[in-house]
Structure 1
Amino acid sequence: MTWTAPEITRTPEPYVGDERTMLEGWLNYHRDTLLLKCAGLTAEQLKIPSVEPSGLTLLGLVRHLAMVERWWFRVRAAGEQLDDLYCTDESPDGDLEDIADADAATDFATYAAEVAAARAAAAALSLDDTFLRRRRDGGADEMNVRWVYVHMIEEYARHNGHADLIRERIDGATGE
């Protein structure tokens, strides 16, 4: 039997709530949107790239966003010591590029696990909790968890736009 990305019912974004409710609600809405763009596609369809010269795929986006969830919520904000999921020194963009032999079912399970772990890490933190982000130039920036939420909403919104175009190329499906 051929694996296909599961169907999903997207939870609507919140219209009323405190700051944390709004940030979490919008982030969850965008998480669901990514999965909605993949729903019903086979593993092979998820590997179809957008248009040349780009090699961007829906599966690559799922892998990338799993990595970003891990990186910002768990490694940066919560200070966990974790290895990278897909990238190496030899393949620094492995999340997006090393797709040919990737297993979609495993990558979707990894994404779900990383979202769950990110939610758990974030729940233990205040929006005002801070951490240092080391820069390549040796400096550091103080950031707070609130920034992480806003950045993640932006990250998903940008990539969900990519996902819209890739999905339309694959089977003509368009929509929210």
Structure 2
Amino acid sequence: MPDTPAPEQYSPRWPDDTRTPPPSVGGERETLCAVLDWQRATFELKCAGLPPERLSERAVPPSTLSLHGLVRHLAGVERWWFRIQFADEDVPMLHYSDEDPDQDFDRLDGDVYEAFALWRAECERSRRITEAAVSLDETGIRRSTGEPVSLRRILVDLIAEYARHNGHADLLREHIDGSTGM
């Protein structure tokens, strides 16, 4: 046991934090899935309690980022990686076209709560696809190259995607109403 004492000051927690912490010890699939779910829950927590118009606020000009745009983007990311590339489902992409690639952030039409419902549904579909996979070594096809991509790599990439956008959500939320926390 090291002699270094535990710090007394920790990063402040978000009020009303109901997230389930990922396990400190566990298998690879359990750990990756728990960390991804924790990142998803973190994003939802950063958006909680704001009225729709504040969720759509582009709070850090000149950036077009908003919490509403981020949830639209993340719904599309879930669908793209798990349903289209890994499971090879024939479903349309969300909030994207080659002619209008930034519509997830630029076009905030539609109901914010419906955007969150769609994102939650895509997350649940992603969980079911992951659970159905026999192994993290199973592969889908990366559409940009035609090369295989493992479920393991997809989970790691999604964790990184959420971590990056949770940082954006931190800044947006702090600017909108001063709320901070881990």
TM-score, L = length of structure 2: 0.87
Superposition deviation, residue 14 in structure 1:
1.5
Structure 1 contact 8–32 (Cα < 8 Å) conserved = no
CA deviations 1:104-154 (Å, max 9, x no partner) are 11101101111111111111112000122132xxx4332100000000000
Unaligned 5+ segments in structure 2 are 1-15
Counterpart for residue 9 of structure 2: none
Amino acid at match of 1:158: R
Aligned to 2:7: none
Picking from 78, 82, 85, the partner of 2:87 is 78
Q: Per-residue displacement from partner, 1:143-171 (whole Å, max 9, x unpaired)?
A: 10000000000000000000000000000
1:87 is matched with which residue?
Answer: 96
Aligned residues: 166
Structure with bigger RCO (C-alpha 8 Å, 6+ apart)? 2
Establish whether residue 170 from structure 1 lines up as the match of residue 179 from structure 2. no
Q: What's 1:26 paired with?
A: 35
Identity of aligned pairs, percent? 50
The structure that has the greater radius of gyration is 2
Taking the aligned partners of 2:91 and 2:146, their CA distance within structure 1 comes to: 20
- Residues 140 and 148 of structure 2 are in contact (CA less than 8 Å); yes or no, is this contact kept in structure 1? yes
CA distance in 2, matches of 1:114, 1:8: 23
Q: Tell me if the contact between 1:133 and 1:142 (Cα under 8 Å) persists in the aligned partners.
A: yes
Bigger Cα displacement from structure 2, 118-127 vs 156-165: 118-127
State the partner residue of 1:160: 166
Q: Provide the residue aligned with 2:124 in structure 1.
A: 116
Asked if the contact 1:8/1:35 (under 8 Å) is kept, the reply is: no
SS of equivalent residue, structure 2 residue 149:
strand
Question: Do the aligned partners of 1:13 and 1:25 also contact (CA within 8 Å) in 2?
Answer: yes
SS in 1 for 2:24: coil
Aligned AA for 1:36? L
Aligned to 2:52: 43
